[in-house]
């Protein structure tokens, strides 16, 4: 009877749609609990500013195996936190991560992309899936590497576990590096319910040597994070205002705003850009108990700047981006030149007026 009840629950659960409050990038992934009798739907939301941050980053490879730069554990840490709330050991956690990437549709991609881009695009191939999996595993505290197979142009993840995998359905495969065993975690497959588990080795890779890529170059900090929750993420908002829209170079303006609803984890990232340049992080600031934030900003040089703010959300609320405001910064040398010009014009006017008021002196001869 218990088995029948579980099966009915799973069928009904699969019919429940994902629910989101976010209006940009989001994903919904189904995860089996360790005993297989329960499923949860993980809602993940990405703000447009975080997505654009990664789109604007360098996507090239400075060396043949420069893949570590695409692993971003901080940005995906909320996903790892969510997984640890339902998994109790590192093998189950790693298999949960594989369930996630097995649900992203496969499409060959070039060049490489960062995990946030893959989540928003909801498409990827073996290397993009491996970057996502390695990021979440690393964010969850696991020791991971990337495994690149030159011979077949393939990539997956190697994960070091506290014990050898016991859920693998075949002989366990691993690569040794620096005295540690890194069990193969295959990120492709397309079927999350019966997909590859940690330690299982695809026939494609039989006898193929892997290049072990360590992750010292993984990004340690991002300007924001994704939102992640097993509950529907509610809509949130953030405002932004500037104390002035016109500024003389060398002075500062106050950037302020409010996030709603108020969050105990209210950390706001302020972005700015000039001309056609990419958005850059001005500052990350914390909100007060009422959800308000502020920062005194001094632009580096003259020009027209666009400013916006973003917050990543939390386990209840999806992240949000503010509207874009602009400020014109006038060159201090231009101001001085303007002042000098005004002074010169004023002097010229004064001299002209004075010259008009001086009466000419006439000489008269005395008759003899």
Where, residue-wise, is CATH 2.60.40.10 in the chain?
Answer: 235-368
pTM: 0.83
Q: How far apart are the first and last CA of the chain?
A: 148
Q: Which CATH number fits domain 18-213: 3.10.620, 3.40.50, 3.30.420, 3.30.70?
A: 3.10.620
pLDDT higher at 295 or 16: 295
d(CA 242, CA 256): 7
What is the pLDDT, as a whole number, of residue 368? 43
pLDDT confidence of residue 350:
72
Q: How many CA atoms lie within 13 A of 343 on its CB side?
A: 6
Q: Which two tokens stand for residue 85?
A: 């709330």
Query: Residue 29 pairs with which residues in a beta bridge?
Result: 42
Span(s) in the chain for CATH 3.10.620: 18-213
Tell whether the model's pLDDT for residue 115 goes beyond 90. Answer: yes
Residue with more model confidence, 146 or 367: 146
> In angstroms, how far is CA 84 from the centroid of its own chain?
21
Fold designation for 235-368: Immunoglobulin-like (2.60.40)
139-187 per-position pLDDT tens digit: 999 999 999 999 899 999 999 999 999 999 999 999 999 999 999 999 9
pLDDT for the residue 19: 43
Give residue-wise pLDDT tens across range 93-111. Answer: 999 999 999 999 999 988 8
Taking all residues of the chain, what is their mean pLDDT, rounded to a whole number? 88
Which tops the pLDDT comparison, 273 or 358? 273
pLDDT at 34: 87
Alpha helices in the chain (DSSP H): 2-14, 48-55, 77-84, 90-101, 115-121, 126-139, 332-357
Residue 24 buriedness (CB in 10 A; 0-12 / 13-18 / 19+):
middle
Q: Please determine, for residue 89, whether its predicted confidence score (pLDDT) is greater than 60.
A: yes
Q: Residue 340: pLDDT band by 50, 70, 90 thresholds?
A: low
């Amino acid at each position: 009877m218990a088995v029948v009840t579980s099966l009915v629950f799973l069928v009904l659960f699969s019919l429940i749609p994902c629910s989101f409050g976010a209006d940009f990038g989001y994903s919904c992934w189904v995860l089996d609990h360790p005993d297989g009798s329960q499923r949860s739907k993980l809602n993940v939301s990405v703000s447009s500013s975080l997505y654009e941050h990664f789109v604007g980053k360098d996507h090239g490879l400075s060396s043949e195996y420069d893949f570590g730069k695409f692993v971003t554990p901080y940005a995906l840490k909320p996903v790892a936190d969510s997984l640890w709330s339902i998994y109790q050991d590192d093998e189950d956690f790693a298999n949960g991560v594989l369930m996630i990437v097995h649900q992203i549709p496969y499409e060959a991609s070039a060049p490489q992309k960062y995990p946030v881009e893959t989540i928003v695009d909801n498409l990827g191939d073996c290397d993009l899936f491996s970057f996502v999996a390695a990021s979440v595993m690393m964010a969850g505290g696991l020791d991971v590497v990337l495994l690149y197979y030159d011979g077949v142009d393939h990539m997956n993840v190697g994960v070091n576990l506290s014990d050898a995998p016991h859920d693998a359905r075949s002989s366990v495969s691993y690569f040794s590096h620096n005295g540690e065993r890194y069990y193969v975690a295959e990120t492709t497959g397309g079927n999350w319910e019966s997909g590859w588990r940690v330690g299982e080795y695809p026939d494609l890779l039989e006898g193929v040597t892997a290049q072990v890529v360590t992750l010292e170059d993984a990004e340690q900090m991002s300007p924001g994070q994704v939102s992640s929750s097993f509950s529907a993420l509610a809509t949130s908002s953030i405002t932004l205002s500037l104390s002035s829209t016109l500024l003389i170079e060398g002075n500062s303006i106050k950037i302020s705003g409010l996030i709603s609803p108020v969050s105990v984890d209210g950390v706001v990232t302020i972005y700015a850009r000039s001309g056609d340049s990419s958005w850059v992080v001005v500052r990350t600031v914390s909100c007060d108990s009422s959800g308000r934030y502020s920062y005194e900003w001094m632009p580096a040089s003259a020009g027209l700047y666009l400013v916006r703010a973003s917050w990543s959300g939390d386990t209840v609320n999806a992240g949000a981006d503010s509207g874009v405001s602009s400020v014109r910064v006038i060159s201090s040398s231009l101001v001085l030149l303007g002042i000098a010009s005004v002074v010169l014009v004023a002097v010229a006017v004064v001299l002209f007026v004075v010259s008009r008021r001086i009466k000419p002196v006439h000489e008269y001869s005395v008759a003899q």
